A and B are shown apart, each in its own frame.
Chain A
Amino acid sequence: MTKKWNLKTKILLGYLLVVIILVGVASWSIYNFMTLNDAINDIMVENYRSVIAAEGMMEALERQDSAELIFVFGQKEKALDIFQRNQMRFMKHLSRAEDNITIEGEKEILDDINKKYQNYLEKFYELRSKYEQAEINELQSHYLEEIMPQFEAVKQETRNLLQVNQGHMKTAQEKANSNSSQAIYSTVAFSAAAIILAILLGVYISNLILKPIKELTKTVKDIAGGDLEHVIQVESEDEIGELAHEFNKMTERVKEFEEMNVSKIIKEKNKSEGIVKSISNPLVVTDEDNQIQLMNPKAEEVFSLEEKEVTGDHFLEVIDDDRIFDLITAALETGEEQGGTEQEAFKFRDEEEDKEFYFRINVIPVTDKEDNINLVVTLLEDITHLKEVDQMKSEFVSMVSHEFRTPLTSMNMSINMLLEENTGSINEDQEELLTVAKEDCENLNELVDDLLDLSKIESGEIDLDFSNVAVDEIFEASVKPFTEQAEEQGVELTKEEVEDLEVHADFNKITWVITNLIGNALRYTEAGDSIKLSADKKGHKVHISVADTGAGIPKEYQHKIFDKFVRVGDDQDSNTGTGLGLAIAQEMIEAHGGRIWVESKVGEGSKFTFTLKLPH
């Protein structure tokens, strides 16, 4: 029934009930006061007047008796006066008492008093009539014998009246007492009952209001905790019921939304997992703590692992490869994609197929919404085929180069013999033509040498003879072959003081690289320019630079000058180098685990810098 009442009505109803109880208690108390008042009234009105009347009657009677005595002793006039005054007082009190008959038997007593008093008065009249003739003795004996008994009788009766009234008064007082204590008890009981009732009512009403709120709160908590299956069971139809209803509706919507999202996420998850699984290259996903999160079947095969068993394990625990781990660490630190070079390829030997596979390591950091890296994808790109093609290319280049050598040898020797005039004298024109042929023969030879070097490095055949070498020694050896040429050209060739700085490198190969860079620099500088060698320790690395104040390299060439056969600008036709020098230099530096780059501005010069490792 209360269901249809709203919260306001419920609260008002509760107050109303308490007010009713209050009114009840107040009414009960008033009723008790009134009862008590009645009892007091009884005493005051009914008995007290009768008692006063009776006492008045007694007094008047006594005075009349005294007047009679005075009368007997001769004071006739005075006695009569007193007697009559007191007779009137007696009658007045009697009539008052008669007006106030309240108790049972009071009327009979009064009638008796009245009758006996009349008798008493008659006896007194007899005494008065005898007064003139009779002796004092006779008067005395009349008083004693006739009047006294009547006086006593009236007095007795009046006393009776007094007693009856006093008795009744006492009863009334007791009744009032009992009424008042009863009133106290009943008021206390009634109040207690009212208090209990009010408390119970309060509890009931607050429950009525709070229970659904509690229910609501609990469910809201559950829902906030993610349990969207929960439906709030609030049956009341008040504001809370309405709130609950709206809340259920909202939860339903949220649930629908979430289910939609969940199915979307699952779809996306399946999609990405499908993509990951279908990638034919090994792929491992790690989190920011380097714990393995995902691994595709190819990765399981290559690392001989089971995805299920290693998920959550630290990368190094299950895949013991420092190179990959270093790249992952670098990706986590820099937030940039890390890629290993082909030289640093990860090698995997398939025993079943008896074949070696090469993988280029690619490490891609994945960031979340706040740009924090939370995942790192390590993709091993299968470059076995590339390696094979590369190998074939190197072998081919090597073979072709060697095959070039033989005819070049005979050509060179033939030209030389002709020029040396072993076969007879030649004229000037013939000598010039033969010189052209000889120079190009030498250029071709140089090219073949470079191609052979490059193919060797690229196929990984090159052996680096690592040792701790002083940078100054390298500089010394690199500058020496050029001092004369630089002087002739008017170019200032200097090297920076590097004290006892050392690097971990192959002395000959690094000298070759610097020599090549100085050779290039000399090619693009003129008299008045300078070439400077310098070295700087930066962290775990040493940066070695060859800087010139020459022509500089246009921006569009800067990124490709390390490619093979690239010459800058109109240099294309001039007879300078093979176009392989920087390519070889780059290969050599990378074989050392370093990096080479160029900074240049046209008209200001170029600065080639490469990095080497410090001694361990």
Chain B
Amino acid sequence: MDKILLVEDNKNIAKVLKMCLTKADYEVKRVANGTEAVDEAYNWKPALILLDIKIPKMNGFLVCETLKDDDATANIPIIMLSAKAEEEDIQRAYDLGATDYLIKPIEPQNLLKKIKEQL
């Protein structure tokens, strides 16, 4: 069972996503802020990270940058989740090493398809 770290501050979205992923037979751990996300990436060693950009403490970009800078976590694929569809944000995410960028609202089928591509 692949482990997926879900970084999402919104309780409801997190709940829906977690259900969606659990139903698809993934082991899901959800954290609500940037620092916890970095900690869990080190300690829990997930196979993939779903990373919301607008999160407290450290934002998604910063988390991504931190993880990609560390060899221990650099290989974990990161799929960014964002409500913002701006070209520059997407570009920035890819520049920082994100694997994919999904714009909310997210279609469950589409999300699962993207995860499958990475695992």
Contact = CB atoms under 8 A, between A and B. Distances in A.
A158 B19 CA distance: 195
Contact of B83 (A409, A413, A417, A423): A409
Interface residues of B, number: 19
Given A406-B10, A410-B10, A414-B16, A445 B108 contact: no
Interface stretch (B29-37, B43-51, B99-107): B99-107
B106 A417 contact: no
B34 to A, nearest CB: 17
Contact of A422 (B83, B106, B108): B108
A441 interface: yes
A420 B109 contact: yes
A402 interface: yes
Contacts of B105: 405, 408-409, 411-413, 441, 445
Contacts of B85: 449
Nearest to B15: A410
A119 interface: no
Nearest to A441: B105
Given A422-B23, A423-B19, A407 B12 contact: yes
A393 B13 CA distance: 28
- Name the prevailing secondary structure of the A interface residues: helix
B16 A417 contact: yes
A416 interface: yes
Nearest to B9: A406
Contacts of A407: 12
Interface string B77-103: 000000111000000000000000000
Contact of A413 (B23, B24, B84, B106): B106
B17 interface: yes
B20 interface: yes
Interface string A313-344: 00000000000000000000000000000000
Contact of B13 (A413, A420, A441, A449): A413
Given A413-B17, A413-B107, 7 more contacts: A405-B83, A406-B10, A407-B12, A409-B105, A410-B16, A413-B20, A422-B20
Interface of B: 10, 12-13, 15-17, 19-20, 23-24, 83-85, 104-109
**7 tightest A-B contacts by CB?**
A412-B105, A405-B83, A409-B104, A410-B12, A409-B105, A410-B13, A413-B16
6 contacts: A406-B13, A410-B16, A413-B105, A413-B106, A416-B109, A422-B108
